[in-house]
Structure 1
Amino acid sequence: ERNEKLPFHVQTPSLSVRVLGTKFNFRDYPNDEEAVVSLLEGKVALGNRLRAEAEMILLPDEQVTLDKAEGCMKKESTKVKNSLGWTSGRLFFDEMPLPEVVKILERSYDVHIIFATDSLRNLRFYGSFSRDEQGINEILQALGKTGKVRYKQGSKEITLY
């Protein structure tokens, strides 16, 4: 509920988000390589807590990605509705690094995925899936159809090579 006398803040070790009346999506799991804030409506102010950097204002259909290793924020235009799809069971990857895709798949399908080939960590993927309609096997098959990734599924884990 809006209360101008009591501003809403979201703070993680990586980012500080000051909400200025809005609808937004914020993803910053501790083991993720990137923190992402996507704005649907209103305005938010972002403060980088990893490196001294000017506060960044985000407007609708803009997204900021913070590379945790480098400590730098990057703003870009995007269709934020796509990044909010997770609230209705959609998985949307928009040039997302494969390690981030893997973390989302692990959380969404309660599986464990390992990399047999480290060079896969540099790949980025596009895709849109529905958790209700597509299982982990269908998403793995889609990754395999790119010709860049193969997988082997065991009883307890999935290996990408």
Structure 2
Amino acid sequence: MDLQDIRKRLEDFRSGKLTSAQKEELHQALSALSEEEHASLFPVEDYLQEGKFQLPEEEVNAALNRLKQTVKPAGRVMWLTNWRKISRYAAILMLVVGSTFLLRKTTGLFNRKAGQTFRVMRVPDGNQGTLILKDGTHITINGGSELLYPESFEGAERLVYLKEGEAYFDIAQDVTHPFIVKTPQVRVRVLGTSFSIRDYRDERHASVSVNSGKIALEHLFKAGPWLELAAGNGSVIDKYKGTITKQDIDTTTTTAWMRGELAFQDAALQQVLQVLQHKYAMHFEVKDSALLKRRFTATFRNNSIQNIMQQLKLMGNINYTITDNLILIQ
């Protein structure tokens, strides 16, 4: 049974069309998947959409209760968003394949050591989160981001996964256990330093910026040597071309969001709107795509979205209307 067949069977399972024998066959097929096949088959974002996998509420709740007994709190969480949508996705998988398979596949992304559990921290647009890991590492997480981290670090590496979004890492030094951050595009390896990563699913470019110390960076989908970055260095990853470009950066600009500031240096309107979307939990609709190429240089400090849009109107000669959380630009 290939991945396409498995996905079709899962849809049939959702619709209640599978016999007991077919459910068992599906269970065996899922259990035989490699970690790479599992990640391809189950991109979590596909199952976070409303309306996906509408199973009977009592079945999902029962699976959720079993999941809660398996996935435990970890670290000192100073601000943690509700992760019920992630949990419901996991619970639905548990109905098909069971908790052992689910945890094996999830933790396999990070560490093969049996029994290790992971937590999910998801910060919605318009918010920021702060997390302190068991090793003393501090992580500041921007809106629209999702981070997976272990209950405790085991093995030779300290490994976390920035599923999507932007985060600033202040790594606790441990020369015998390198800290690894994975995103959908790159892997970053450090011993003790501070740096930030930005990798949103709806943006063409991902970026890494080093504030102090050094890091090593490699592309997950393109073979090549590790790229070393020191303080004041950054890199831009083009997701379409698979290229990594090293450049000098202004760290006060790349970390401005942590201070409640928005700093743009010759940024296209498209980039500006992407930042505003996650900062203010707003959606944007642009009638004329040519407007997206207009460029802006500005710094906003604790401004309201209304104030920012008014300044963009004056600087870029654009018109806009705001209705609830939708901004129409023309």
TM range, smaller chain: 0.7 to 0.9
The answer to whether residue 288 in structure 2 is matched with residue 154 in structure 1 is no
* Alignment partner, residue 308 of structure 2: 139
Q: Which residue does the alignment assign to 2:255?
A: 84
CA distance 1:78–1:99, change in 2 (3 Å)? same
Using the aligned pairs only, state the percent identity: 30
State the secondary structure of the residue aligned to 2:193: strand
**Structure 1 residues 52 and 115 mapped into 2: Cα distance closer, same or farther (>3 Å)?**
farther
1:15 equivalent among 183, 186, 193:
186
Q: Which structure features the higher share of strand residues? A: 1
Residue of structure 2 aligned with 1:108, choices 279, 292, 299: 279
Task: Give the greater-gyration-radius structure (CA).
Answer: 2
- Runs (4 or more) in structure 1 with deviation over 4 Å come to none
CA shift in 2, pair 1:136/1:69, >3 Å = same
Change (3 A) 1:75 1:6: same
Q: Alignment length, in residue pairs?
A: 159
- The answer as to whether partners of 2:207 and 2:237 remain within 8 angstroms in 1 is yes
Q: What is the aligned counterpart of 1:55 among 219, 226, 239?
A: 226
Q: Deviations over 1:113-160 (max 9, x none)?
A: 1121112333343221123xx111121122222235332222341012
Q: What do the CA deviations read for 1:87-112 (whole angstroms, capped 9, x no partner)?
A: 12111122333323212211111211
Per the TM alignment, residue 54 of structure 1 is displaced from its structure 2 partner at its CA by 3.1
- Alignment CA distance shift 1:48-1:121 (3 Å): farther
The CA RMSD measured in Å over matched residues stands at 1.8
Give the superposition deviation at 1:76.
1.4
Paired with 2:305 and 2:259, the residues of 1 have a C-alpha distance of 17
Task: Compare 24-33 and 34-43 and name the one that shifted more.
Answer: 24-33
In the superposition, relative to structure 1, how do residues 52 and 124 fare at CA in structure 2: closer, same or farther (>3 Å)?
farther
Q: TM-score, normalised by structure 1?
A: 0.88
Determine which of 208, 213, 228 is the counterpart of 1:42: 213
**Structure ranking higher on relative contact order (CA contacts 8 Å, 6+ apart):** 1
SS in 2 for 1:101: helix
**Distance verdict in 2 for CA 1:47–1:123, change over 3 Å:** farther
> Per-residue displacement from partner, 1:18-67 (whole Å, max 9, x unpaired)?
12421111111222221111111100111122433432111111111112
| CA distance 1:98–1:73, shift in 2 (3 Å) | farther
Following TM superposition, by how much is the alpha carbon of 1:84 offset from its aligned partner in structure 2, in angstroms?
0.8
More helix per residue: 1 or 2?
2
Distance across 1 between alignment mates of 2:246 and 2:290:
26
8 Å CA contact 1:24–1:38 kept in 2: the answer is yes
The TM-score, its normalising length taken from structure 2, stands at: 0.45
| Pick aligned residue for 2:300 from 129, 132, 135 | 129
Q: In structure 1, what is the equivalent of residue 244 of structure 2?
A: 73
| CA distance, structure 2, for counterparts of residue 42 and residue 140 of structure 1 | 37
Distance (Å, rounded) in 1 between the aligned partners of 2:297 and 2:306: 17
For residue 214 of structure 2, give the secondary structure of its aligned residue in structure 1. strand
User: Using the alignment, how far apart are the partners of 1:63 and 1:104 within structure 2?
Assistant: 18
CA distance in 2, matches of 1:148, 1:20: 47
Whole-Å Cα distance in 2 between the matches of residues 142 and 80 of structure 1?
24
Letter in 2 for 1:112: H
* Stretches of structure 2 lacking an aligned partner (at least 5 in a row): 1-171
> CA separation of 1:54/1:151 partners in 2, compared to 1, >3 Å: closer, same or farther?
farther
For 2:240, give the aligned amino acid. Answer: A
Contact 1:39–1:61 (8 Å) recurs in 2? yes
CA distance in 2, matches of 1:73, 1:148: 34
Which secondary structure does the structure 2 equivalent of 1:21 belong to? Answer: coil
